[in-house]
Amino acid sequence: MEVFDCIRTRRSIRKYKDKPVPWEMVVEIMQAGKYAPFAGNVFNAKFVVIKNDEKRRAIAEACVQQYWMQDAPIHIVVCGEPEKADRFYGTRGVRLYTIQGCAAAVENMLLTAHSLGLGSCWVGAFDEEEIRRLCNLPEIVNVQAIVTIGYADEVPTPPPKYRIEHAMFFEKWWGRIEGPKTGVGMWSPYIKHAVTETHRHIRKHGKKLVEKVKEKFKKK
């Protein structure tokens, strides 16, 4: 699967088949997470794989009663180790770089799961202390996300997305540049104006042309 196709067609899956996921696929997904960019190459994330039925039900309960989660045969609890980033980057490493690195790891895992024919979902709503208790996490670790993995039992409708011209600026906030008066999207008003003006000129000069032709025939 091409990279952009994988990005474009990935969906958040909340319905899963009762079918186990091969362990080698789970490992490949976590390998993808490991290769995400981390500030200064300080890898400060850990992945806790949950397969136990009872524990998955408890995690679904701790994720504000998102009971659909328990049907996913694999949960990956993504944890951050902020103290590692603190050694090199101080407060910014704790409050920003750890979160960025773990988020990049999660996205890598989602895309890899999709490329392997699996469904996945990034879950960010949870009772962190309850997840900590269920997974026996030390106090120095924080929970960044939970990723559900399994074979999809649904095909979600693609959600609406902003056009790229509505999500980008040049040089500064709200910065725009003059572009060609052709194309689609943000240039469509120019096209509409050009078409309208063309029609107006045709009507105006067309009448004059008809009148001149009639005058010539009369003279003959």
Instruction: Report pLDDT digits (tens) over 184-193.
Output: 555 566 566 6
Answer yes or no: do 133 and 76 share one domain: yes
The total number of structural domains in the chain stands at 2
| Same domain assignment for residues 71 and 166 | no
Query: Do the beta carbons of residue 69 and residue 94 sit within 8 Å?
Result: no
Could you read off the pLDDT of 42-89 as tens digits, one per residue? 999 999 999 999 999 999 999 999 999 999 999 999 999 999 999 999
Flag whether 157 is in a domain: no
Alpha carbon distances (Å) from 44 to 89, 106, 111, 126, 191: 13, 13, 21, 21, 52
Statement to judge: residues 127 and 205 lie in one domain: no
Q: Is the pTM of this model over 0.75?
A: yes
Average pLDDT over residues 143-151: 98
Question: Which residue range is the domain that position 18 belongs to?
Answer: 3-150
pLDDT score of 111 more than 90: yes
Which whole number is the average pLDDT over 106-126?
98
Residue 105 pLDDT grade (very low, low, confident, very high; cuts 50, 70, 90): very high
Query: Is 156 within a domain?
Result: no
